[in-house]
C-alpha cells in the first residue's frame, strides 16, 4: 500500500511539473530586499497527498452522480410505465365516448359543438399519450447512453430485485437495495 502511494505521488509530481508553466522558467524571490533567482521545479511545496485525496473525492463524486442519475432515470421509467397504462385506459374510454357522441349526432340528439368537443378531447388525450411514449423512449436512450450500451438497446423495466422489505422502527418498508 505504501509502494502504491509512493508511485501515485511520483506520478502526481510528474503531472504537476509537466503542467506547471513555472517549472522551467526562472522566478525571482526577494529575501531581505535582495533578488534571488529560483526555479519553481526546485521546490517541493505541493501537498501531493491533498491532491490525491481531491482526485479520489472527485472520482467518488462522479461515481455517486452516475449512480443517482441511473436510479433517477430508472425510477422515471417505472413511473412512466404506470402513467402510460392509465392514459391508454383513459384514451379507450374517450374513444368509446367519441363513438357514442358520433352516433348521437348522426340521429340528431347532439349538437355539432358537443361532437367537436368530444373529438378535441380525444385528440388531446391521444397527443398526451404520444408525448409520454416519446419521453419514455428518450429516457431509455439516455439511460443506455449513461450505461455505455447501444442507444437502441431494448430492456424491460421492472421492480424485481430493485426493492426489498426492510424493518424500520418496527414497520416493514420497501427501500431500494
- pLDDT tens digits for range 103-121: 999 999 999 999 999 999 9
Give the pLDDT score at 28: 45
Asked whether 8 and 52 are in contact (CB, 8 A), the reply is yes
Residue 126: partners with Cβ closer than 8 Å, 6 or more residues away: 91
**What is the greatest pairwise CA distance in the chain?**
107
State the sign of the Cα–Cα–Cα–Cα dihedral 79, 85, 89, 95: positive
How far apart are the C-alpha atoms of 2 and 5, rounded to whole Å? 5
The DSSP symbol for 155 reads -
Please write the tens of the pLDDT for every residue from 3-25: 666 676 676 666 554 444 444 45
| DSSP string computed for 127-159 | HHHHHHHHHHHHHHHHHHHHHTS-TT-------
Residue 73 has pLDDT above 70, yes or no: yes
For the ranges 12-21, 22-31, 55-64, the lowest mean pLDDT is seen at: 22-31
How far apart are the C-alpha atoms of 10 and 17, rounded to whole Å? 11
Give the pLDDT score at 146: 85
How far apart are the C-alpha atoms of 149 and 140, rounded to whole Å? 11
pTM over the 0.75 mark: no
The residue with cell 479520489 is 56
| DSSP string computed for 58-69 | HHHHHHHHHHHH
The residue with cell 340528439 is 109
How far apart are the C-alpha atoms of 123 and 33, rounded to whole Å? 83
Which is nearest to 122 in space by CA: 137, 147, 101? 101
State the sign of the Cα–Cα–Cα–Cα dihedral 99, 103, 109, 113: positive
How far apart are the C-alpha atoms of 121 and 100, rounded to whole Å? 14
Average pLDDT over residues 64-87: 89
In a 3-state reduction of DSSP, which class is residue 163? Answer: strand
Amino acid at each position: 500500500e505504501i509502494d502504491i502511494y509512493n508511485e501515485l505521488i511520483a506520478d502526481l509530481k510528474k503531472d504537476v511539473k509537466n503542467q506547471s508553466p513555472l517549472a522551467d522558467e526562472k522566478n525571482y524571490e526577494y529575501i531581505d530586499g535582495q533578488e534571488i533567482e529560483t526555479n519553481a521545479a526546485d521546490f517541493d511545496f505541493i501537498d501531493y497527498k491533498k491532491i490525491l485525496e481531491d482526485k479520489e473525492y472527485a472520482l467518488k463524486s462522479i461515481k455517486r452522480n452516475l449512480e443517482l442519475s441511473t436510479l433517477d432515470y430508472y425510477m422515471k421509467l417505472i413511473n412512466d410505465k404506470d402513467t402510460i397504462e392509465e392514459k391508454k385506459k383513459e384514451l379507450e374510454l374517450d374513444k368509446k365516448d367519441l363513438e357514442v357522441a358520433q352516433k348521437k349526432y348522426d340521429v340528431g340528439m347532439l349538437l355539432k359543438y358537443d361532437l367537436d368537443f368530444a373529438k378535441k378531447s380525444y385528440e388531446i388525450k391521444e397527443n398526451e399519450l404520444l408525448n409520454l411514449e416519446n419521453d419514455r423512449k428518450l429516457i431509455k436512450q439516455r439511460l443506455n447512453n449513461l450505461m455505455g450500451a447501444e442507444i437502441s438497446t431494448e430492456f424491460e423495466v421492472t421492480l424485481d430485485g430493485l426493492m426489498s422489505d426492510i424493518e424500520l422502527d418496527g414497520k416493514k418498508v420497501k427501500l431500494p437495495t
